[in-house]
Amino acid sequence: MKVLVCISNVPDTTTKITFTDNNTQFNTNGVQFILNPYDEIALARAIELTDGGKGSVTVINVGDATTEATVRKALAIGATDAVRINAKPHDAWFVAKQIAEYVKQNPFDLILTGRESIDYNGSKVAGMVGELLDIPSVSIIKKLDATDSEATVEREIEGGKEVLTIPFPFVAGTAEGVAEPKIPNMRGIMSARTKPLTVVEPVEVKSTSEIISFETPAPRGQVTLVPADDTAKLVDLLHNEARVI
């Protein structure tokens, strides 16, 4: 089985977010970037499915040279090899198009993504890749098992669970529960230095969106603490200050 795992280079969740150029560009100064946590889940499951010589795991990232530390971490975790599409990821359409064009030339049995990236939270890439390749795609799966010719996936839906059997090839966006993220050991870290990392130039893609501006959430308001036994004061504050009752 040949598995392709799509990975993103995202800001650490503890990063203080700021913007430049009149709030049109993300300020990367001093920002610590990490492997997208949902993509780590996808990578962990891919490694489990191919463990023991059952296949190979390739990771693919759309990003410039600054993302190579993240790509090398994926190799240290256990990926067989890596591909970096040498371009900044403008939007989900651009990323999906780059991945799909690579897969058209280098077919895979299974393509995994995280359910979303933690920077834009779009959940778009998996579906777009499936459409561009004209193969099935399923998003936000909670379980993934595979045989030689097909896979069984499980999704949570309103009021229950949905179980699907899908023949290869297909695309899946993974969520919590599919696998536990793996921590690279020293052997993995050392071997990552010599594993193949292929840099591919991007295909031309017509832009379909433009970022007008970013803005940070409004700061939290002042919190007023009310003793648990002082319900009269609570009611007064809700009525006269918050004006919600």
- pLDDT tens sequence across 201-226: 999 998 888 888 888 888 877 888 99
Query: Which homologous superfamily does the CATH classification assign to the domain defined by 2-216?
Result: HUPs (3.40.50.620)
pTM of the model: 0.86
Q: Which two tokens stand for residue 174?
A: 């993974």
In this predicted structure, the answer to whether residue 28 has a pLDDT above a threshold of 90 is no
Domain extent listing, the chain: 2-216
Q: What is the rounded CA–CA span in Å between residue 123 and residue 173?
A: 8
Q: What is the rounded CA–CA span in Å between residue 133 and residue 125?
A: 12
Q: How many beta carbons lie within 10 A of that of residue 88, not counting itself? A: 11
Q: What is the rounded CA–CA span in Å between residue 16 and residue 25?
A: 14
Q: Which two tokens stand for residue 206?
A: 């017509």
pLDDT per residue as tens digits for the range 132-156 = 999 999 999 999 999 989 999 999 9
The answer to whether 22 and 58 are in contact (CB under 8 A) is: no
The answer to whether 91 and 8 are in contact (CB under 8 A) is: no
- How many helices (H) does the chain have, and how many strands (E)? 6, 13
> Which range has the worst mean pLDDT, 22-31, 84-93, 103-112, 231-240?
22-31
71, β-bridge pairs: none
Q: Exposed, middle or buried: residue 156 (CB in 10 Å: 0-12, 13-18, 19+)?
A: middle
For 203-226, the DSSP string reads: PP-----------PPPPPPPP---
β-pairing verdict for 150-157 and 137-146: antiparallel
Q: Which two tokens stand for residue 227?
A: 């003793």
Q: Average pLDDT, whole number, for the chain?
A: 93
